[in-house]
Structure 1
Amino acid sequence: MKFQHMLTALMSLALGAQAYWMADIKHQGLAPFGGANYQVFRNVKDFGAKGDGITDDTEAIRRAMNTPNNRCLQGCASKTETPAVVYFPPGTYMISSSIVTPYYTKMIGDPTNRPVLKATANFAGFGLIDGNPYYTEKPNWVPVNVFFREVRNFVIDTTNIPPRTAATGMHWPTSQATSLYNLAFVMPATADVVHVGLFIEEGSGGFMADLTFQGGESCASMGNQQYTMRNFKFNNCKTAITQMWNWGWTYIGLEINNSDVGIKMANSDVGSVTLLDSTISNTKTFIQSSYTPSGKPDTQGSIIMENIKFNNVGTGISGPSGTILAGGTTTIAGWGQGHQVLGTAGATELQGTIQPNTRPAALMNGNVYYQKSKPQYENLGAGDFLSARSAGAKGDGVSDDTAAIQAVITQAAASNKVVYLDYGLYVVKSTVNIPAGTRIVGETYPVILGSGSFFQDQSAPKPVFKIGSQSGVAGRVEFSDFIVSTKGPAAGAILVEYNLVAPAGNPSGFWDFHTRIGGFSGSEFMIPQCAKVVGSANIDPKCIAAYMAVHATKQSSGLYMENTWIWVADHDIEDATNAQITIFAGRGIFIESTTGSFWLVGGAAEHFHLYNYQFAGTKNIFASMLQTETPYYQPLPNAIQPFTVNTSLRDPDFATSCQGVSGNCANSWGLRIIDSSDIFIYGAGLYSFFNNYNTFCNSIANGANCQSRMVSLEGSIKNVNIFDLSVIGTESMINRDGKSLTKNSDNFNTYASNVIMYRSG
């Protein structure tokens, strides 16, 4: 099989076609817990797939996905010990039944000539790609626990299936650190078609970008807690998007052409939708909404729009009583419906035109917000990459790989090459210094593990990855598809410190680059070490896992972060029951750049002890659908211990600020903004689900709250804008200098409470 693959590659070169580097590069990924000779990288043609448009390749692709038999499939709760990259060279692969992607799998096609997955006329299954099959009445994996997976660079074609036969291109109920990139869904464009391109019914996403849909009855039918979706194009759909349910959703760069309905969100389970920088053309109705100002719950079906171009749109928004917003050929500069909070006033009703945000040039590309898709280095060859394993790094989760990792990064930056971080668990015993110009690509999700005494002193915190030798150094970096973490106690570890000043208009970039703290094999923060303890405020020193996740220092600027999950694990992902654990990490993402220019697109920060997001003394920040969760153990212990207040980092002082505040006050902030300006947040889901592992407090129906406060605005605040804020389990949604501006009970939505627009003034 390997000879056949080599022959195919040689024939392509002989015909003048340069093979994509991923097909040619030496693959040496090591899965330390996968077993002897476990294969991380798999080329489907090595397993017998033809890709000739004639042969049924279903079984060959399944072999590539599932070999060996210890991959996480039916009956497996979750597992990250057996990763895989399944690669598809160009071709048309005929599929007669669903391809199931096992847990912890990347499915990647050649981006220079996207492979086609084409259904046979007799196709049977729920999606050509089924990301979470129904072997019983429930999905195989709990959708909110499906992490770390990706599908990119494919055409998914259902046109062989008769139009009136139900068919689905992809079934994808998943959650954080998952992504779809560069996919095309091709369906019949007939009047009687009933095909669906993308179907999602559950989960806690998430991010997708660069998807196109052609034909179909409902091109994308989706229900999930929250999502950021960027650069979606719909052509000739009956309904482009059916929003089945959500708490919040952000669409950026939406393009809908020649459709009957753009977005159908008339279901009472839809919480809110944010849309910006989009174009709607030749469409009868853009949005079907169920919102009424006097409806119950108060804010169900909220909408916020900014910079939406209409070209020959029949009706802009229709509601239960008729037209809410007219169509035509025009630009909707700003429009909203729901509840608004302006300045220090409480919540009031909003339905109509709003003043659009005044967008700073530092965040823009022309008249839209800057965006950039994950680099795939299509123009490079295999010789343009330097392998960490070839440089001597072991990646076995035990050996000290500090010197080897540092050497390959230094060499790659000096020679303008890309570091290929073969899969492995790379232990580093001191800071890895990242010079300007560094580019790192992971083979699926390799992990850098800061470990040992160097990272254990909370009074002298040190970075694991230090990007730029000191704050204010000029240059940029690109990171994609890998993880930084810790192994064993690390109370003084800052996982990522960003110091660079990137060129204007060309920021550094993080794509599918995550910090993952505990809960996996090799971390030493699992059930045996850190099982949850209910009803006790005791703090086990061996379960203090990090000081901070990401720190953008004062003189740094210019960083684009897309689908970056900053996670303190709440459960042991390798455990058969996903049992909960208690581990402590102090701070999530802290940006104190005085210049700013940061984009946080579709990211999340969860379970940090003091705060999940903090912006202090900064400006020029764009964010879309920030998602947070308060640690499940709080308030036992609460946020006062074990992390000492560091005033130089603008830490919250709960011992002081909670005086006179009732309820669970000393709980982690979801979002804290201090002395900052020009902040633009388009979607935020900030959740508190537990009171010391008890969930009674998180339901609106129970009339209880898991904590007192969620968003804090402090000091000199100017031009801070939060659109589409959804909060769960928290009494006060927004606080300004210690005073509550609005409560969740004033803004009930479907499950969360929602304020569709906050402006500081």
Structure 2
Amino acid sequence: MVRPNTVTAVLTAALISLPSAAIPTVFGPQPRQVAGSSDYWVANIKRQGSVAYGNDASYQVFRNVKDYGAVGDGSTDDFAAINQTMWDGNRCGLGCDSSTLTPALVYFPPGTYRISQPIVMPYYTQMVGDALVVPTISALSNFEGIALIDSDPYIPGVSNPDGSGINYWTNQNNFYRQLRNFVLDITALPEVNPTSGYGAACLHWQVAQATSVQNVIFNMLAKSKTNKQQGIFMENGSGGFMGDLVFNGGGYGAFLGNQQFTTRNWTFNGVGTAIYMNWNWLWTFKSLTINDADIGIDMSALQNGFNQTVGSIMIIDSSITNSAVGIKTSRNASSFPATGGTLAIQNVDFTNTPTAVAAADGVTQIVVGNDKITFFGQGDAITSQSWTSRHRGKRMPQANTTATQTVIPLPDFTAESYNNGTATSCSLSPVSLQTKTVESELTGHTIAASLLDSSGAVFERSKPQYENVPASSFVSVKSAGAKGDGSTDDSDVIQQVFNNVQSGQIVYFDHGAYVVTKTINVPKNIKITGEIWPLIMASGNFFGDQTQPQPVFRVGNPGDTGNVEISDLVFETLGTAEGAIMIEWNLAGESPGSAAMWDAHVRIGGTAGTKLQQDTCMGATPDSQTFEASCVGSFLMLHVTQTASAYFENTWFWVADHELDLAGHNKTNIYNGRGVLIESQGPVWLYATSSEHSQLYNYQVSNGKDIFMAIIQTETPYMQAAPDALNAGFIPNPAYTDPNFADCSTESCKKAWGLRVIDSSDVSVWGAGLYSFFDNYSQDCLLTESCQENIVDLQCATNVRLIGLTTKGTTNMVTVNGLPVALQQDHRNAFGSTLVLFDV
């Protein structure tokens, strides 16, 4: 994912002077010791995981830190043993930009592990603490380093000309990491490091997609005017998801900067500044609880004292209570850029917080507190509804609050004349929309009742970890006879396991690469999990005809109602599979969220074994400007059908734009038909999902309703428009409501849509980052933000609300019924263009 790289020099110059963990040159486990006692299945299940396309048959995927000598007694320095556990097996570190061939699931039994240096996470690592008795990682008083756990170390003594550091891994490509079930404790350290002038952090989390932090407690010294300790330090990246976190004490609970991120269920107790947002393009906070803070969220950061660095923040179903200031913003009548500091707040309680939203001085009130805010918007808004607002703040609305644009209705036209040719069930009529710059409370948006829980908040559900299920209840597919070797057809064995699994059992995919040559039918009432992302690889002629597409995983049958849980899997193709629907989701959940998938991803090409790598599908070369049939991926990555309901969290649908395994990590041209198609009547929840580089579209909702998304992120294929969307191997199929770009007069029009909503209603999008960075790998188009013409397509759509829409490199931000209604040039942000609200 080679994007424009946003790097902030704030803090990094001082922080990189702190020593990083030394990586040993000789590895190997110490004599085996008896691991700490635990009934958690992760500690006790038989380990058979192997790397199908690796070159070391003895490589250990699973490792227990106590097998490498860690004691966990609360006093011994366990750094060396933990470090050895992490790096055993020539894993991907400094000088290795990425690799899927050295995965490691590192398990920490119950205990308190004291360390004197940071634990560095190699690429493709899951750190998993015991879920029954959560282990603690605690700093010794002589600890030196940036954070207890470091996901992307700075190279000591090396920096860029601007003073920013240079990391082991490219931050926006730092994929595939998990951290869950830990207490991270820095209470033995001073409030401020006397050498650097900064406080230590519990976690340095500088990551991109397919990463997560779950069920972690951050313990710091009690807040004070001098405390600079941080729970999370994140300076850049391109994420991502974090959920179920608790921050106690500290100067900053979370110091954040990232392109886009979704966070859910964070709790802050007694923190100085709970969240300091240093910069972003967009960030959504869901179910945020802040209690007893000096400042809840500080989004007032300025570059050079003038330019806003925060693109947008969206907050929903949250509370900031018993705090001095809820949110601090620097946005004002003269701030720059025009839509910088965009802010949306919905259903947020500010009880006993006298100032809900304050200006940069922290005193001037924009919105008074001590109440619940139904909906507040700060930024540019476009709506078809009449404007109703009220101002509770002591400061008057800022400048430019009068209408700046009215879209005048044009004569009616028919679907046949519409520029993508999609047939719709309604008469496509122009709509009248008004644009305002707002800083006020607005009419609240009614989210469909089926999407809400009993309290009226949007439903959410954390990934199950099966902590109360014994290891004996897990059914290993390898024990049942599957090979997972990347070549044997495992279809029949997997199907047999699914057919025979009993109530109370969980299907377990040991790490490996499982080739399937026919549809795998996933029955209702089943639970499936994997060992650090085993691969399900579609192969063969059965998936080779795009005129008769076939599902790889069919979850339930149309009309089925039941329960399914899927987690920690990766779906790929083994070579071309132009007729493969990677996941077809038919099942409707018996209850909200009971049909769900977490931390499972679809990845097309770019890795060992796929036959779609840089050696055969190189991008950005003179020979790569025409379609290559041998570099076709799948028909469609996810199809949520009409009778289904589903909950997805932290799922990445990625067509590889670059190589992850072969040396050089060069650009790749892989042609995938479609990203995510939702036809469900709801409810459907998508938290922290991303769909990138498909040819026709990345997200499409057609004939659907009752859908909630937070955040979605897309990228247009880098090679377009050479070839364009109509010449990349996939014929638009009206049975799937495909766009056909029939009325396009330019090549920049014939590019993948980021989001389409067709004949659909009650769709709520809380944060959308839809990016177009290239025109045939050239970025000259960014000079005029015109890499493509259109990116959001709404047709015959009702009660659709986009909150925090950011687009990049597209002339038109939104088209409605075939007409451009939001132009990027009118809503410029530091990165791209942003609307706080688009409502039809």
TM interval, short-chain normalised: over 0.9
Q: Say if 2:356 and 2:370, in contact at 8 Å, map to a contact too.
A: no
Q: Which amino acid aligns with 1:709?
A: N
Partner in structure 2 of residue 169 of structure 1 = 202
The structure richer in strand per residue is 1
Q: Say if 2:593 and 2:647, in contact at 8 Å, map to a contact too.
A: no
Partner in structure 1 of residue 755 of structure 2 = 671
CA distance in 2, matches of 1:454, 1:505: 34
1:526 and 2:608 matched? no
Aligned match for 2:674, one of 583, 587, 592: 587
Q: Say if 2:346 and 2:376, in contact at 8 Å, map to a contact too.
A: yes
Partner in structure 1 of residue 768 of structure 2 = 684
Q: Which amino acid aligns with 2:809?
A: G
Q: Say if 1:346 and 1:741, in contact at 8 Å, map to a contact too.
A: no
Q: Which amino acid aligns with 2:380?
A: H
Partner in structure 2 of residue 45 of structure 1 = 66
Q: Which amino acid aligns with 2:552?
A: V
Residue correspondence of structure 1 range 295-444 to structure 2 within 5 A: 295-320=335-360, 323-343=364-384, 344-345=432-433, 347-366=435-454, 367-412=456-501, 414-444=502-532
CA distance in 1, matches of 2:499, 2:718: 40
Partner in structure 2 of residue 705 of structure 1 = 786
How far has the Cα of 1:705 moved from its partner? 1.0
Partner in structure 2 of residue 13 of structure 1 = none
Q: Say if 2:35 and 2:109, in contact at 8 Å, map to a contact too.
A: no
Q: Say if 2:36 and 2:66, in contact at 8 Å, map to a contact too.
A: no
Query: How big is each residue's C-alpha offset from its partner over 1:439-463, in whole Å with a ceiling of 9 and x where there is no partner?
Result: 1111001110000111111111111
Q: Say if 1:78 and 1:575, in contact at 8 Å, map to a contact too.
A: no
Residue correspondence of structure 1 range 50-129 to structure 2 within 5 A: 50-68=71-89, 70-129=90-149
How far has the Cα of 1:327 moved from its partner? 3.4
Residue correspondence of structure 1 range 670-749 to structure 2 within 5 A: 670-698=754-782, 702-715=783-796, 717-749=797-829
Any stretches of 5+ residues in structure 2 without a counterpart?
1-28, 160-165, 194-198, 302-307, 385-431
Q: When the two structures are superposed, what TM-score results if normalisation uses the length of structure 1? A: 0.95
1:189 and 2:273 matched? no
CA distance in 2, matches of 1:578, 1:745: 35
SS at match of 2:74: strand
Any stretches of 5+ residues in structure 1 without a counterpart?
10-17
CA distance in 2, matches of 1:19, 1:143: 37
Aligned match for 1:607, one of 693, 696, 699: 693
Task: Tell me whether 392-401 or 100-109 shows the greater mean CA deviation.
Answer: 392-401
CA distance in 2, matches of 1:648, 1:435: 25
CA distance in 2, matches of 1:739, 1:724: 21
CA separation of 1:753 and 1:658: change in aligned 2, threshold 3 A: same
How far has the Cα of 1:417 moved from its partner? 0.9
Q: Which amino acid aligns with 1:347?
A: T
Partner in structure 1 of residue 180 of structure 2 = 152
CA distance in 1, matches of 2:274, 2:775: 40
CA separation of 1:43 and 1:401: change in aligned 2, threshold 3 A: same
Partner in structure 2 of residue 571 of structure 1 = 658
How far has the Cα of 1:696 moved from its partner? 2.4
How far has the Cα of 1:227 moved from its partner? 0.5
Query: How big is each residue's C-alpha offset from its partner over 1:32-66, in whole Å with a ceiling of 9 and x where there is no partner?
Result: 21512110000101111011001110010011111
CA distance in 1, matches of 2:704, 2:785: 35
Task: Tell me whether 27-36 or 492-501 shows the greater mean CA deviation.
Answer: 27-36
Task: Tell me whether 493-502 or 343-352 shows the greater mean CA deviation.
Answer: 343-352
Q: Say if 2:34 and 2:67, in contact at 8 Å, map to a contact too.
A: no
Q: Say if 1:598 and 1:621, in contact at 8 Å, map to a contact too.
A: yes
Q: Say if 2:355 and 2:370, in contact at 8 Å, map to a contact too.
A: no
CA distance in 1, matches of 2:785, 2:832: 13
Q: Say if 2:721 and 2:747, in contact at 8 Å, map to a contact too.
A: no
CA distance in 2, matches of 1:5, 1:364: 49
Q: Which amino acid aligns with 1:680?
A: S
How far has the Cα of 1:537 moved from its partner? 4.1
Q: Say if 1:416 and 1:437, in contact at 8 Å, map to a contact too.
A: no
CA separation of 1:744 and 1:435: change in aligned 2, threshold 3 A: same
SS at match of 2:714: strand
Residue correspondence of structure 1 range 484-563 to structure 2 within 5 A: 484-534=571-621, 537-556=625-644, 558-563=645-650
Partner in structure 1 of residue 42 of structure 2 = 22
CA distance in 1, matches of 2:85, 2:334: 55
How far has the Cα of 1:295 moved from its partner? 3.1
CA distance in 2, matches of 1:601, 1:108: 22
Corresponding pairs, count: 740
Q: Say if 2:356 and 2:367, in contact at 8 Å, map to a contact too.
A: yes
CA distance in 2, matches of 1:488, 1:506: 34
How far has the Cα of 1:663 moved from its partner? 5.8
Partner in structure 1 of residue 404 of structure 2 = none
Q: Which amino acid aligns with 1:51?
A: G
Q: Which amino acid aligns with 1:712?
A: D
Q: Which amino acid aligns with 2:688?
A: G
Aligned match for 2:264, one of 218, 230, 235: 230
Aligned match for 2:332, one of 292, 298, 309: 292
CA separation of 1:435 and 1:300: change in aligned 2, threshold 3 A: same
CA distance in 1, matches of 2:747, 2:327: 40
Q: When the two structures are superposed, what TM-score results if normalisation uses the length of structure 2? A: 0.86
Task: Tell me whether 79-88 or 568-577 shows the greater mean CA deviation.
Answer: 568-577
Q: Which amino acid aligns with 2:832?
A: A
CA distance in 1, matches of 2:35, 2:657: 48
SS at match of 1:390: coil
Q: Which amino acid aligns with 1:210?
A: D
Partner in structure 2 of residue 751 of structure 1 = 831
Q: Say if 1:346 and 1:742, in contact at 8 Å, map to a contact too.
A: no
How far has the Cα of 1:401 moved from its partner? 1.0
Query: How big is each residue's C-alpha offset from its partner over 1:706-750, in whole Å with a ceiling of 9 and x where there is no partner?
Result: 1000100012x1100000000000000000111000111000011
Aligned match for 1:245, one of 249, 255, 279: 279
CA distance in 2, matches of 1:159, 1:446: 38
How far has the Cα of 1:415 moved from its partner? 4.0
Query: How big is each residue's C-alpha offset from its partner over 1:329-382, in whole Å with a ceiling of 9 and x where there is no partner?
Result: 211011011000113425321110111111222101121110000000111000
CA separation of 1:645 and 1:624: change in aligned 2, threshold 3 A: same
How far has the Cα of 1:583 moved from its partner? 0.4
CA distance in 2, matches of 1:730, 1:300: 18
